[in-house]
Structure 1
Amino acid sequence: MMVENIVCFDIGGTFIKFGLINRDGHLVYKDKVPTPKSNIQKLLPELLAEKIKKLQNDFLIAGIGISSCGLVNHETGEILFSNNIPDYSGMKLGEILFNLFKLPVSVENDVKSACIGEMWKGAIQGKKDVVFLTLGTGIGSTIIIDGKIVSGSRYLAGELGHTVIINNGRSCGCGRRGCFERYASTSALVSDFIDEKNKNSEVIKKISGEEILALVEEGDSIATAVYKNFINYISIGLSNIVHLLNPEAIIIGGGIAEQGDRFIQDINSEIKKETMPIYHQETLVFPSILGNDAGLYGACYLTLKKLNYLHV
């Protein structure tokens, strides 16, 4: 008897990661391809269909799971809006794939999918009230209450990166000033570090967040000062979330969160200074452990639920 599998895609602005996960949650195959740069409405569904058909030659496929950048209506499988992929907004991706393969299809936002993946097979198994953030160019985020994604009235809920932590602060692409992501994203850390180096007549044009954390470990004074402010900004934003939602756990993903224990330990320590004592718990913030695969696992889980293969 062949094992049933879910073919899963994680659609980003640069790459489309895809893989095969069986109904027990084991990743049996994965790969990635560049995201088409033009004619998205035609080329993207064709690319997904090609990969599905190829996998069907060797595996029993029971469903299709999609984790995608952008705002997503998970009930209809429509991409409501995407600023990462030109002309992607409005694509009825779930409907297109269902019509082609007559298999159950789930479509969900990538950060929400990653959070679900971590709850199923990652850092926060067994927890029901969770906040998940990815630190990168901005801050992606999602909220889980009682095991369910908080979507809001129009699938727009959970944009924690656009809560304000500094009154009349830095301008943000959303049109507001002082947004959390303008101070606590990896790109904010990099920008602040470069600015401080330039003030000291050291011209640096490019550096990664991971490289800055390495300089902190080496004792670089400017890196250490910028990092300390960065941890403080993160903790201010997270303390607001703690007081509002009282989550069991906060998960932080993104490359910078995978650079060892110090980063997460420093945030846990700083949050205790920013929150009322009654909210303190031994460990609140955890790093993502599924990394770049979290979205695939989440896409699989949501499709398995659609198939009634999971009862949690």
Structure 2
Amino acid sequence: MKQYLVFDIGGTNLKYAMLDAAGNIVEKNKKPTVKTGLQEFLNEMYEIADSYAGKFKGIAISCPGKIDVDNKIIHFGGSLPFLDGVNVQKLFGDKYQVPVSVENDGKAAALAEMWLGALKDVVSGEMLTLGSEVGGGIVVGGQLIHGAHFQAGELSFMRYDMNCDDWSGFTGQKGSAVNMIKRVNEALGNSDLEDGQKAFEAINAGDKTAMAIFTDYCRDVANIILSVQAVVDGAKVVIAGGISAQEIVIKTINEQYDFLAKKFYRVGNELTKPEIVRAQFENDANIFGALYALLLDVNGQSDEAK
């Protein structure tokens, strides 16, 4: 049975797992992400890979940043800027003499949904990851779109408020679940502004102050979906991120999309609404998606990758 070593590089944790070609996790673990520098970070990854020496037929990596999937080079690196310029082929493929792949974390999550989740067999659609900003991926013709510069689907860069002169007017901030939670907790007088549980306790209880902020946020997300729908004409929009576990999130986003469709005649009568659903994968999405990227890279549309 072929097995693959998969790394999910995050700003907080370095997750890793061994999976077979069907997407079954054989074992998984995580360690705090080393942030002191590139060599120390690589040493941690090498130590993990060495512990599985001879057991894996390939290495798949998910990480933040703009990813050149053709040449397997990381650019920028998000919260880990020392990853900028890292060549995964040279540092891992040549070292371990196995096929390697590297994919942006948001796109990896979308690939997981395409392979085994809510975007399976969807010809056109998109996934929105609602976290500190808005990430995700766009599917057209049954393929994940990377774009000429590997930045397709980076929805955070869409300008939302044309009258705003700073980053707060961009989709990344308007669709930020973290910012919404902070606003709710601040309005309620909670000491921990990042406490999502407290914020949603108030939202689910119907607190008027919390609900007003939450409803406005869901309308912003609905506006983002509407804008993307005008370009992609997707059959389905998959919502991911920690807040998607709350049933009220998908429900309210749908309600706010319907509100906009009624408010603007041509939207309601000419632009077909996509199905808006919750992502099936949660914490392990990037692991499954990174593996799928590797299988596609090595085998194309093979039986293993379907």
TM-score, normalised via structure 1 length: 0.88
SS of 2:290's partner is helix
- Residue 212 of structure 1 aligns with which residue? 199
Describe the shift of the 1:306–1:153 C-alpha distance in structure 2 as closer, same or farther (beyond 3 A): closer
2:4–2:59 Cα contact (<8 Å) kept: yes
Q: Output the amino acid matched with 1:51.
A: I
Please give the per-residue CA displacement for 1:85-110, whole angstroms capped at 9, x wherever unaligned: 13211111232101111100011101
Match runs of 1:33-182 below 5 Å: 33-40=31-38, 42-56=39-53, 60-169=55-164, 171-172=166-167, 178-182=169-173
2:121–2:142 Cα contact (<8 Å) kept: no
Q: Output the amino acid matched with 1:53.
A: D
Residue 184 of structure 1 and its aligned partner are, at CA, apart by 1.9
1:127–1:147 Cα contact (<8 Å) kept: yes
CA RMSD after TM alignment: 2.0
SS of 1:307's partner is helix
Aligned pair count? 297
- Residue 179 of structure 2 aligns with which residue? 188
SS of 2:81's partner is coil
Match runs of 1:7-26 below 5 Å: 7-26=5-24
**Matched residues in 2 for 1:56 and 1:121: separation?**
28
Residue 271 of structure 1 and its aligned partner are, at CA, apart by 1.4
Q: Output the amino acid matched with 1:55.
A: Y
Describe the shift of the 1:189–1:130 C-alpha distance in structure 2 as closer, same or farther (beyond 3 A): same
1:267 aligned onto 2:253: yes
SS of 1:56's partner is coil
Report sequence identity in percent: 25
**Matched residues in 1 for 2:194 and 2:74: separation?**
33
SS of 1:62's partner is coil
Residue 78 of structure 1 and its aligned partner are, at CA, apart by 0.8
**Matched residues in 2 for 1:241 and 1:210: separation?**
30
SS of 2:58's partner is strand
TM-score, normalised via structure 2 length: 0.90
Query: Pick from 277, 284, 289: which aligns with 1:298?
Result: 289
- Residue 236 of structure 2 aligns with which residue? 249
**Matched residues in 2 for 1:263 and 1:91: separation?**
37
Residue 245 of structure 1 and its aligned partner are, at CA, apart by 1.0
Alignment gaps of 5+ in structure 1 = none
Describe the shift of the 1:247–1:85 C-alpha distance in structure 2 as closer, same or farther (beyond 3 A): same
Alignment gaps of 5+ in structure 2 = 262-266
Q: Output the amino acid matched with 1:20.
A: M
**Matched residues in 2 for 1:22 and 1:96: separation?**
23
**Matched residues in 2 for 1:213 and 1:151: separation?**
34
SS of 2:299's partner is coil
Residue 22 of structure 1 and its aligned partner are, at CA, apart by 0.4
1:141–1:161 Cα contact (<8 Å) kept: no
Please give the per-residue CA displacement for 1:201-258, whole angstroms capped at 9, x wherever unaligned: x464424334322211112121111111111111111111111211121111111111
SS of 1:301's partner is helix
**Matched residues in 2 for 1:253 and 1:292: separation?**
10
Describe the shift of the 1:43–1:103 C-alpha distance in structure 2 as closer, same or farther (beyond 3 A): same
- Residue 276 of structure 2 aligns with which residue? 285
Describe the shift of the 1:104–1:189 C-alpha distance in structure 2 as closer, same or farther (beyond 3 A): same
2:109–2:136 Cα contact (<8 Å) kept: no
**Matched residues in 1 for 2:198 and 2:149: separation?**
39
